[in-house]
Amino acid sequence: MAVTDETLVYLDECGIPQNLYRESGWAPRGEEVFGKRTGKREKKLNLIAAYDGHSLKSPFLYEGVMNTALFNTYLTEFLLPVLTPGQIVVMDNATFHKSAETRRLIESKGCQLWFLPPYSPQLNPIEHLWAVLKRQVKRFQHQFASLTETLDFIFQNIPLFKGDSTVNSNYPYYYLNTNNNLIVQLYMNITIVRCS
């Protein structure tokens, strides 16, 4: 099978600080720009998603740290249902990506698992998407009460993050709290779904 851009699906995680704001602004010549910013450290929200070169696939927000169990749950519940046989999942060498169960899950869908060379994040196109996402968060954060509301707005209104509009432009993304007992399915209206 030939490897084409359509067969490659890049997967990665990123952390988004709760207090991510623009660090520059406009002011009259000779005047400094000042803005409010908290001095305390706040928790980050983490995001995992896949990118096929056209759109973001299966975005999933979570607090805390990723581990093998959570990663494999993400694969099973969110990513594998949108993959098609023959696709190649490309990811970095994080420890939780390398379990035998992870490989088995991906291969059971008829897909292949490829790893990037160590210390080569620049080879993963989704890294550029994360940079754009963080710029959009900086742009819109001040308009919303929380980071999840900001991300909800971005995922619903910024074309790069809306998903494949020919399939479903209002796809959900999911939020898992640190207690691992709630998944919040976020649309413009928030629905809480209990999971066992």
Whether residue 68 is contained in a domain is answered as: yes
Using alpha carbons only, give the angle 153, 157, 163 rounded to the nearest 5 degrees.
105
Find all residues with CB under 8 Å of 116, minimum gap 6, and list them.
Answer: 90, 91, 92, 93, 123, 124
In 3-132 the beta strands, taken as DSSP E runs, fall at 8-17, 44-51, 56-62, 88-91, 112-115
Q: Residue 130 domain-assigned?
A: yes
For residue 111, being part of any structural domain is answered with yes
Residue at 1 is within a domain: no
CA–CA separation, 186 and 69 (whole Å): 23
Q: Which amino acid is at 130?
A: W
Check which CATH number belongs to the domain holding 176 and give it.
3.30.420.10
pTM: 0.78
Of 122, 100, 188, 119, the C-alpha closest to 151 is 188
Q: Is residue 2 part of a domain?
A: no
pLDDT of residue 41: 74
- Structural contact between residues 114 and 148, judged by C-beta atoms closer than 8 angstroms: no
- Domain range enclosing 173: 8-194
In the prediction, which pLDDT does 181 show? 43
Count: domains in the chain: 1
User: 170 in a domain, yes or no?
Assistant: yes
- The per-residue pLDDT for 163 is 59
Residue 26 lies in a domain: yes
Q: 81 is written with which tokens? A: 């249902």
Helix axes 147-157, 126-140, angle to 10 degrees: 120
Does residue 43 fall inside a structural domain?
A: yes
Please report the pLDDT score of residue 162 as a whole number: 67
Q: Are strands 56-62 and 112-115 parallel, antiparallel or unpaired?
A: unpaired
Quote the pLDDT of residue 169.
37
Spans of the chain below 70 pLDDT: 1, 21-22, 37, 162-196
